[in-house]
């Protein structure tokens, strides 16, 4: 007896309360359906259906068997789909939402290699700091700084960022090099604030975590605009380490207050929680982990 076929027959008979309707759905003869059910009952040693001339009803044992069969058949289909898809080439549209600074400085340069590996995927990147409705707006993946309180999403950490104080060498010549938070507050600043993000940053100093409230001298909602203003002499700023690493290396920026160690902020890739994650999502998230988490961006 083919147990999987027998489970499918039992589920179909239970759904229709009819041998003949089940036979039409399964494209089997009514006699074959009756025989399979009879063989199944004989094998289990219990009656699954009560039969009269007018109706067919599940017994208690039949109800238990059918419910468990439905779950097992679903798991089998998911397993087959997962294995089949694992060996297929990802294709179609991949729609990604990403925070602006990380998207500009990190994701954009890494994207050509991903597209080279998976040429049959069309990738659309939306750069924005707003919180998107991942499911309602049909995004496959969202990249954000810090965790989200949404149990319907899976979070995969892909990197971290550290917010550091920087200024130009010319700034230090004009204002000196601040050595404390109180001193730096007296200097002109240009900083990024997006909604509530960026109004405060946390630093570790001499074993204590300190909250630094960002001065409101000049604020912008774009990290790239803040960086350009700072380079033009607008004042010191606080930016993610990946934004300024090259500028520090090339002496366009000087890192200020190095004794104030930034508290790391995790960067996550979020995607919808499903029984079976689409392969295009899986390969993209795996690529993000490969590209960013195995090395320090700073």
Measured N-to-C along each axis, helices 60-86 and 3-16 cross at an angle, to the nearest 10 degrees, of 120
Domain at 163-262, CATH class:
alpha beta
Residues in the chain, total? 298
How far apart CA 80 and CA 5 sit, in angstroms, is 16
The low-confidence residues of the chain, meaning pLDDT below 50, are 296-298
pLDDT score at 297: 40
The token pair that represents 231 in the structure block: 């380079």
pLDDT in tens, 230-263: 999 999 999 999 999 999 999 999 999 999 999 9
Q: What CATH fold (topology level) applies to the domain 3-86?
A: Arc Repressor Mutant, subunit A (1.10.10)
pLDDT in the model for residue 125:
96
Distance CA 287, CA 291 (A): 6
Cβ proximity of 202 and 210 under 8 Å: yes
Class of domain 92-161+265-293: alpha beta
Residue ranges of domains in the chain: 3-86, 92-161+265-293, 163-262
Query: What are the residues facing 95 on neighbouring strands?
Result: 124
Residue 53's pLDDT is: 75
């Amino acid at each position: 007896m083919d147990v999987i076929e027998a489970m499918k027959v039992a589920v179909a008979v239970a759904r229709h309360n009819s041998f003949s309707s089940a036979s039409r759905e399964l494209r089997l003869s009514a006699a074959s359906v009756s025989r399979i059910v009879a063989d199944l009952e004989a094998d289990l040693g219990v009656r699954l259906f009560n039969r009269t001339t007018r109706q067919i009803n599940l017994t208690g044992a039949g109800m238990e068997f059918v419910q468990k069969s439905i779950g097992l058949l679903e798991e089998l289909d998911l397993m087959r789909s997962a294995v089949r898809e694992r060996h297929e080439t990802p294709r179609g549209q991949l729609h990604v939402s990403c925070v602006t600074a990380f998207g500009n400085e990190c994701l954009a340069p890494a994207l050509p290699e991903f597209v080279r590996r998976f040429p049959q995927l069309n990738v659309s990147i939306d750069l924005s700091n707003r919180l998107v409705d991942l499911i309602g707006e049909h995004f496959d993946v969202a990249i954000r700084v810090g965790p989200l309180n949404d149990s319907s999403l899976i979070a995969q950490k892909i990197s971290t960022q550290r917010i550091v104080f920087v200024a130009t060498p010319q700034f230090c010549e004009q204002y000196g090099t601040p050595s404390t938070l109180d001193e730096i507050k007296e200097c002109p600043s240009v900083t990024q604030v997006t909604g509530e993000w960026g109004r405060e940053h946390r630093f570790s100093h001499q074993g204590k975590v300190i909250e630094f409230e960002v001065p409101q001298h000049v604020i912008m909602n774009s990290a790239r605009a803040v960086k350009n203003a700072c380079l033009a002499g607008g004042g010191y700023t606080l930016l993610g380490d990946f934004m300024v690493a090259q500028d520090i290396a090339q002496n366009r920026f000087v890192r200020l207050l190095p004794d104030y160690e930034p508290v790391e902020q995790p960067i996550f890739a979020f995607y919808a929680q499903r029984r079976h994650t689409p392969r295009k999502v899986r390969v993209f998230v795996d690529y993000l982990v490969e590209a960013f988490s195995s090395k320090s961006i700073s």
